[in-house]
Chain A
Amino acid sequence: MDEEREKEGIVLTEAQLRSRRHRSIAIALALGVLVLLFFAVTIVKGPAVLNRPM
């Protein structure tokens, strides 16, 4: 039994698994928003997206 547990390594509790899942979803959403933002601005600016002041 102990040997089996050792093979499994660290076992996360329910609370740890749940919070990790929530954090992963939040990161995925944030990345999605970033991708959409870059896409939308590229469409809005057209070729001028490459002309950046400074």
Chain B
Amino acid sequence: MSVVDHNTLELAPIRISEAEVGDYIALLKPRVMSLVIFTALVGLAIAPGYFHPVLAFTSLLCISVGAGASGALNMALEGDIDAMMSRTANRPIPRGKVTREEAMTFGVTLAFFSVLTLGILVNWYAGALLAFTIFFYVVIYTMGLKRRTAQNIVIGGAAGSLPPVVAWVAATGSISVEPLLLFLIIFFWTPPHFWALALFRSDDYARAGVPMLPVVAGPDATRLQILLYTIVLVAIAASPWPLGYFDWIYGVASLILGGGMLALAVNVYVSRERSASLRATRKLFAFSILYLFALFATLLLEVVARAIAPWIGFGVG
């Protein structure tokens, strides 16, 4: 009898990555990032007082990298769902270009450095809020809500609504009503936007077992919820003008854009026939992106108008 067993240890074949830089950029969800950067830029722009451009750039960079980290961690945790949905089957993990572990390492590294850099170079309130945003998106939304409840994107929407608040806190070191209004606008914009997408992708979500509202409650209930949330959204988006937080340029734009959003939500509600319904939901989905960009762009316009008003002798307020 031998004291040493001569068993051959079978090692798994070594996998050597062929992932390109573009695959890692795709993990950051660049389209979501662009919305985060833009809303955060508006949060910075409307913040009172002087904020050095280098610090403003640093804040924007950290917020956008933090958002990208959230996207990478989300993809690492949802590789199985992504593989089953036509919209997401082309992402780096389902394609086998990046492994789940690589995406996780990438996401954690970016999250760590974005929070640390924002904290050290700008302020720790903003750093802590960015850390909370990433935590909320990854742990509360992706790990907790996404596969469990039809309210996933309603509650999870809070994470996507925080970037302008983080930016404001970075610029001022404190919190105020204005960034909270921006938070509420994005928060109430999220359900109509994602439910419109879920309506015309409901087969995808059903196949992947994600309990989106159209899958769980049916298309009619979803149409009603879209309409109700849009009414609340339009009212909240218009309120900063009469309340005196934002000026008339924003007020008029919010009413016009809100009218468009409401008309398309009503169209989604009344269009029940399959092809008409598909057209209506696609239109609402596309317009909702334009709506948010345009609404926030008017706030930037107001900042510019206020800056040049003394030069041309014209009042903005």
A residues whose Cβ falls under 8 Å from a Cβ of B: 10, 12, 15-16, 19-20, 22-23, 25-26, 34, 37-38, 40-41, 44, 52-54
Contacts and interface: CB of A to CB of B under 8 A. Distances in A.
Contacts of A52: 119-120, 123-124
B14 interface: yes
A37 B119 CA distance: 13
Nearest to A23: B21
Contacts of B20: 19, 22-23
A50 to B, nearest CB: 10
Interface string B87-128: 000000000000000000000000001000101110111001
Given A41-B58, A52-B119, 7 more contacts: A12-B16, A16-B17, A25-B21, A37-B117, A37-B121, A38-B121, A40-B54
A44 B14 CA distance: 47
21 contacts: A10-B16, A12-B16, A15-B18, A16-B17, A19-B20, A20-B17, A23-B20, A23-B24, A25-B21, A37-B61, A37-B117, A38-B117, A38-B121, A40-B54, A41-B54, A41-B58, A52-B124, A53-B123, A53-B124, A53-B125, A53-B173
**Chain A interface SS verdict (over half):** helix
